[in-house]
């Protein structure tokens, strides 16, 4: 098929790093939270190999922040997620699914606690700002909910620690996973967290003033010269190997939190009130009907996935695959698929239908093993 162009206009928000992203030769964008999200500079395989060996700088400003601050901030954040947030310390981040009153997934953000009464909800692609403002208003809560001028810049890859230590000092190596510090880079105040959407390790730098975006990029870029730094982006191959699911693709507002493998990030008996409690209890009694699974298809690389591909058992559709990449490590195609519970067991043999052709597929555990 012929390549298509994404038309850029002010309705598609720019990021504070866009000039550098262009200079580095960006070839394709996607749209995320009504903002551009750079996708490819060269190609996904080349970028995957570089990411796993070196260090990359990613413009992930499209991961917008929803700030919740005020006396009722904790109560409000507790309401919107089945994860217990009270134990999260200032300086800590937690991965927390957001669920509505029916238990349906609204988003799967990282939540940062900046103060006892102040949070950033670092969102995936859906309108969390309007949802949370609506709840705060409807319940008359004493809290401010807004989108601050904050843009994450990710530094990912095995050389990320060396790069950041050269830039800020050896102490950054001591920042634990999902913890953050407040510091300053190139004259601009930033939040520096050990996190990021890859399994290769690294940091996310939350810029707090768009006007300083290029200065921040340039400082990181200069420190990265020793380490063959390149511009990159969340990588499809790497994120499938690591098992990172993408909201909007792999799970949507049609799916219940109990269907998406979020159990590790939920405390269903938490003392604080949360909107999904009744729905979760009811569905636990009934049992879920579908589950988000890992699916492997050996053989040659499959084409790019544009629409969800049907998954079949004995000729009947039992679910749909939503993401796919060929993994050099496993020498197989890795997919996420929402499957009927009766087939959602590692080891189950199924078929995948790709443009009219059927191929063998096998359900795997969440580490692509058995």
Whole-number minimum distance, CB 196 to ligand THG, in Å?
5
Nearest CB to ligand THG, comparing residues 123 and 185: 123
Q: Is 63 in the site for ligand THG (CB under 6 A)?
A: yes
Q: Is 95 in the site for ligand THG (CB under 6 A)?
A: yes
Q: Is 255 in the site for ligand THG (CB under 6 A)?
A: no
Whole-number minimum distance, CB 107 to ligand THG, in Å?
8
Q: Is 322 in the site for ligand THG (CB under 6 A)?
A: no
Binding residue for ligand THG (CB under 6 A) from 244, 341, 354, 359?
A: 244
Whole-number minimum distance, CB 60 to ligand THG, in Å?
6
Q: Is 196 in the site for ligand THG (CB under 6 A)?
A: yes
Q: Is 266 in the site for ligand THG (CB under 6 A)?
A: no
Q: List 349's β-bridge partners, or say none.
A: 362
- Can you spell out the DSSP letters for 109-170? -EEEEEETTEEEEE--SS-HHHHHHHHHHHTT-S-EEE--S-EEEEEESTTHHHHHHHHH-G
Helix (H) or strand (E) holding 304: none
- Residue 264: CB atoms within 10 A of its CB come to 8
Whole-number minimum distance, CB 303 to ligand THG, in Å?
26
Q: Which of 99, 106, 56, 68 is closest to 81 using CA atoms?
A: 99
Cα–Cα dist 123/235, whole Å: 18
Nearest CB to ligand THG, comparing residues 212 and 241: 241
Length in residues, the chain: 370
Q: Is 197 in the site for ligand THG (CB under 6 A)?
A: yes
61: left (phi over 0), alpha (psi -120 to 50) or beta: alpha
Q: What's the maximum distance between 2 C-alpha atoms anywhere in the chain?
A: 62
Find the radius of gyration of the CA atoms of the chain: 21
Q: Is 241 in the site for ligand THG (CB under 6 A)?
A: no
Q: Is 110 in the site for ligand THG (CB under 6 A)?
A: yes
Cα–Cα dist 60/233, whole Å: 8
Binding residue for ligand THG (CB under 6 A) from 97, 152, 157, 261?
A: 152
Nearest CB to ligand THG, comparing residues 212 and 238: 238
Place of tokens 């998954």: 311
Nearest CB to ligand THG, comparing residues 202 and 319: 202
Interface residues toward ligand THG, by CB under 6 A:
63, 95, 108-110, 122-124, 152, 178, 195-197, 204, 244
């Amino acid at each position: 098929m012929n390549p298509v162009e994404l038309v850029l206009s002010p309705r598609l928000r720019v990021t504070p790093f866009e000039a550098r992203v262009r200079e580095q030769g960006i070839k394709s964008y996607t749209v995320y939270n009504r903002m551009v999200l750079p996708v490819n500079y060269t190609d996904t395989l080349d970028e995957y190999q570089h990411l796993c060996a070196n260090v990359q700088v990613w413009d992930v400003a499209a991961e917008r922040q929803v700030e919740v601050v005020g006396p009722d901030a904790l109560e409000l954040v507790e309401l919107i997620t089945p994860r217990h947030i009270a134990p999260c310390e200032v300086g800590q981040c937690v991965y927390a699914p957001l669920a509505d009153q029916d238990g349906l997934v609204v988003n799967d953000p990282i939540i940062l606690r900046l103060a006892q009464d102040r949070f950033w909800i670092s969102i995936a692609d859906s309108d969390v700002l309007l949802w949370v403002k609506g709840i705060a208003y409807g319940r008359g809560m004493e809290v401010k909910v807004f989108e601050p001028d904050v843009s994450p810049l990710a530094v990912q890859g095995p050389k990320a620690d060396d790069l950041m230590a050269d830039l800020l000092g050896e102490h950054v190596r001591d920042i634990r996973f999902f913890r953050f510090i407040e510091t300053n880079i190139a004259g601009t105040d930033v939040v520096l967290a050990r996190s990021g959407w890859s399994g290769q390790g690294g940091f996310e730098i939350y810029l707090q003033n768009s006007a300083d975006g290029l200065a921040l990029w340039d400082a990181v870029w200069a420190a990265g010269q020793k380490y063959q730094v390149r511009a990159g982006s969340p990588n499809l191959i790497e994120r499938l190997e690591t098992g990172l699911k993408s909201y909007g693709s792999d799970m949507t507002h049609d799916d219940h939190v109990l269907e998406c493998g979020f159990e590790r990030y939920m405390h269903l008996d938490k003392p604080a009130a949360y909107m999904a409690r009744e729905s979760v209890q009811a569905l636990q009694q009934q049992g879920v009907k579908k589950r988000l699974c890992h699916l492997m298809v050996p053989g040659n690389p499959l084409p790019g996935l544009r629409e969800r591909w049907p998954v079949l058992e004995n000729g009947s559709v039992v679910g749909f695959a939503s993401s796919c990449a060929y993994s050099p490590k496993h020498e197989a195609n890795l997919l996420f698929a929402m499957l009927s519970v009766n087939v959602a067991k590692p080891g189950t043999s199924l078929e995948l239908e790709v443009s009219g052709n059927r191929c063998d597929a096998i359900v795997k555990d969440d580490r692509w093993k058995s």
